[in-house]
Amino acid sequence: MSRLVLVLGDQLSLSLSALRHADPTRDIVVMAEVADETTYVHHHPKKIALVLASMRQFADALREAGWDVRYSQLDDTHNAGSIVGELLRRAEETGASEVLVTEPGEWRLITHLRHAPIKTHILPDDRFIASHQEFEAWAKGRKQLRMEYFYREMRRKTGLLMDGDAPVGGKWNFDHENRKPAPDAVAFDGPKRFAPDAVVAAVLALVERRFAPHFGTLHPFWFATTRAQALAALDHFVSNALPLFGDYQDAMLADNRFLYHSVISAYINIGLLDPLEVCQKVENAYEKGAVPINAAEGFIRQIIGWREYMRGIYFLEGPEYPTRNALGHKRDLPALFWGAETQMRCLDKTVGQTRDEAYAHHIQRLMITGNFALLAGIDPGQVHEWYLAVYMDAFEWVEAPNTVGMSQFADGGIIASKPYVSSGAYINRMSDYCEGCAYSVSKKTGEGACPFNLLYWHFLDRHRDRFSGNARMGNMYRTWDRMDAEKRETVIAEAEDFLRRLDTGAQV
């Protein structure tokens, strides 16, 4: 009897465990574009197009490799609208009574599959460096789950940038060399762009028809949708941007959306690129002398360190992790996150870029939109849904720990040892946003004072009980306490006035 092999939209790897465990001579691959997956949050149209077009291209690659693929397009008349619905329909059509699937990257879908009325074997997703068991073993008995120590384990396990037992370059981490402010000019013309072929064009027409109301601009669409294209995008990055990736990793420019970033997270997350092969290419460039150690180490740390660690936390903490709200934040997500006009240039530029590209780099996500949401006390559940919807690389296993944990401190400090908050001074140091902003970054209070300056102190003040004893935050509280009482009162009153205006939907 044949079995069904379910391949999800972020499982587009020929080495997928479900495919490895199946028999192409008798088992049948099921791939399904379904309404449920396209709308469980209102994904950015570019993200939907990336996933559906890459699914179609991958189905062709599977057929070429000899698989029988039953592929459902979103507009097919008999489409059941959900993954489990499609599995049951295909089971009836083919007589199959069992399903093989690689573990999905989201508790929601794992639960659906566990409860599906058909025998379903969920196999480990071994496209990661650490298995769930390895992460659990590492985490067991530790008071703090600091990424840095996990990362060193991953360096040892993979042998990447290792010289026997010692890290190449004599240090595990070159992060302090990766904090240069925004450069005046950028010598990289951005990620490799691909003209839509017939498969992509058909998906773009579908997305335009079905998802026009979703936040985000569909055209121009230039993402890679095949493994060959994703590899070309990776090579383009390694040859042209990687040497300066480390230096400018944290910098932000209003009119340069990609700086020296790779823009490959989505390609890795949907399975077009393998994380280890990506790191090996980077290591290779370092060994050939083409890139400095701070770039190679900084990049590899993001993938075998942060990316693996985030996945470990998501699965360790369980399905309710995304609902955590340790700071009790309740404010609704303001309309400016959906493109309503704002005078705050940093937010305007970051949200605008997100709308156009379905992309913002890490520091824009963490220190502009994330920082603002945290300082303003926005409900982390709403912040989480926003990030899950608007970025092309957003899948819950990686998005939720980054948003709920790292960015919003809503997990109470599992991921971050202190909240990632800053006043306008940090944004001004790392970007050119403040030049030309309607607000003045150097003004702490009064007409035109930068809202980050007000909200920063308001945040620290309202969470004093939780954070004043944190050794890493002592300086912040000492500075606040040294301000004269009248000035502190003015800051709090102006911050509250700003938040009131935000709540009424007034333009800020």
Residue 305 in contact with residue 318, Cβ under 8 Å? Answer: no
- Residue 101 is a binding residue for ligand DLZ (CB under 6 A): no
Residues contacting 489, CB < 8 A, separation 6+: none
Residues numbered 394 to 413 that lie near ligand DLZ (CB under 6 A) are 395
* CB 26 to ligand FAD: min, Å: 36
Cα(191)–Cα(249) distance, integer angstroms:
15
- Residue 283 is a binding residue for ligand FAD (CB under 6 A): no
- CB burial of 53-91 (b: ≥16 within 10 Å; e: otherwise) equals bbbbbbbeebeeeebebbbbebeeeebbebbbbbbbbbb
Residue 74 in contact with residue 206, Cβ under 8 Å? Answer: yes
Structure tokens that stand for 190 in this block: 């951005």
Among ligand SF4, ligand DLZ, ligand FAD, none, residue 286 binds (CB under 5-8 Å by kind): none
Among ligand SF4, ligand DLZ, ligand FAD, none, residue 304 binds (CB under 5-8 Å by kind): none
> Binding residue for ligand SF4 (CB under 6 A) from 234, 366, 421, 450?
450
Residue 138 in contact with residue 109, Cβ under 8 Å? Answer: no
CA angle centred on 383, ends 397 and 493, rounded to 5°:
145
Q: Which helix (H) or strand (E) holds 48?
A: helix 45-64
* CB 253 to ligand SF4: min, Å: 12
> Binding residue for ligand FAD (CB under 6 A) from 193, 355, 362, 488?
362
Among ligand SF4, ligand DLZ, ligand FAD, none, residue 303 binds (CB under 5-8 Å by kind): ligand FAD
Residue keyed to tokens 């993954």: 83
With respect to ligand DLZ, which residue has the nearer C-beta, 51 or 376? 51
Q: How many residues bind ligand DLZ (CB under 6 A)?
A: 16
User: Which range in 37-45, 143-151, 172-180, 327-335 contacts ligand DLZ by CB under 6 A?
Assistant: 37-45
Among ligand SF4, ligand FAD, ligand DLZ, none, residue 345 binds (CB under 5-8 Å by kind): ligand SF4
Residue 427 in contact with residue 441, Cβ under 8 Å? Answer: yes
User: Which range in 85-93, 100-108, 163-171, 365-373 contacts ligand FAD by CB under 6 A?
Assistant: 365-373
Structure tokens that stand for 337 in this block: 């996150």
User: Which range in 199-207, 213-221, 363-371, 450-458 contacts ligand FAD by CB under 6 A?
Assistant: 363-371
Residues numbered 304 to 323 that lie near ligand FAD (CB under 6 A) are 306-307, 310
- Residue 51 is a binding residue for ligand DLZ (CB under 6 A): yes
- Nearest CA among 392, 396, 388 for reference residue 41: 388
- Residue 444 is a binding residue for ligand SF4 (CB under 6 A): no
Q: What ranges in 130-226 are assigned the alpha helix state H?
A: 132-139, 147-158, 198-211
With respect to ligand FAD, which residue has the nearer C-beta, 102 or 364? 364
- Using alpha carbons, list the distances in angstroms from residue 235 to 150, 191, 241, 275: 28, 10, 10, 14
With respect to ligand DLZ, which residue has the nearer C-beta, 106 or 297? 106
CA angle centred on 447, ends 443 and 448, rounded to 5°:
55
With respect to ligand DLZ, which residue has the nearer C-beta, 9 or 167? 9
First to last CA, the chain: 63
* CB 336 to ligand SF4: min, Å: 11
* CB 403 to ligand FAD: min, Å: 4
- CB burial of 241-259 (b: ≥16 within 10 Å; e: otherwise) equals bbbbbbbbbbbbbbebbbb
> Binding residue for ligand SF4 (CB under 6 A) from 211, 433, 457, 498?
433
* CB 298 to ligand FAD: min, Å: 9
- CB burial of 3-22 (b: ≥16 within 10 Å; e: otherwise) equals bbbbbbbbbbbeebbbbeeb
> Binding residue for ligand DLZ (CB under 6 A) from 85, 105, 190, 216?
105
Q: Which helix (H) or strand (E) holds 28?
A: strand 28-32
- Nearest CA among 98, 91, 100 for reference residue 16: 100
- Residue 439 is a binding residue for ligand SF4 (CB under 6 A): yes
> Binding residue for ligand DLZ (CB under 6 A) from 4, 10, 206, 508?
10
- Residue 295 is a binding residue for ligand SF4 (CB under 6 A): no
CA angle centred on 106, ends 100 and 110, rounded to 5°:
40
- Residue 370 is a binding residue for ligand FAD (CB under 6 A): yes
Cα(451)–Cα(439) distance, integer angstroms:
8
Among ligand FAD, ligand DLZ, ligand SF4, none, residue 346 binds (CB under 5-8 Å by kind): ligand SF4
Residues numbered 324 to 383 that lie near ligand SF4 (CB under 6 A) are 344-346
Task: Summarize as ranges the residues that interact with ligand SF4 (CB under 6 A).
Answer: 344-346, 424, 427-428, 433-434, 437, 439, 441, 450-452
Task: Summarize as ranges the residues that interact with ligand DLZ (CB under 6 A).
Answer: 8-10, 32-34, 37-38, 43, 48, 51, 104-106, 109, 395
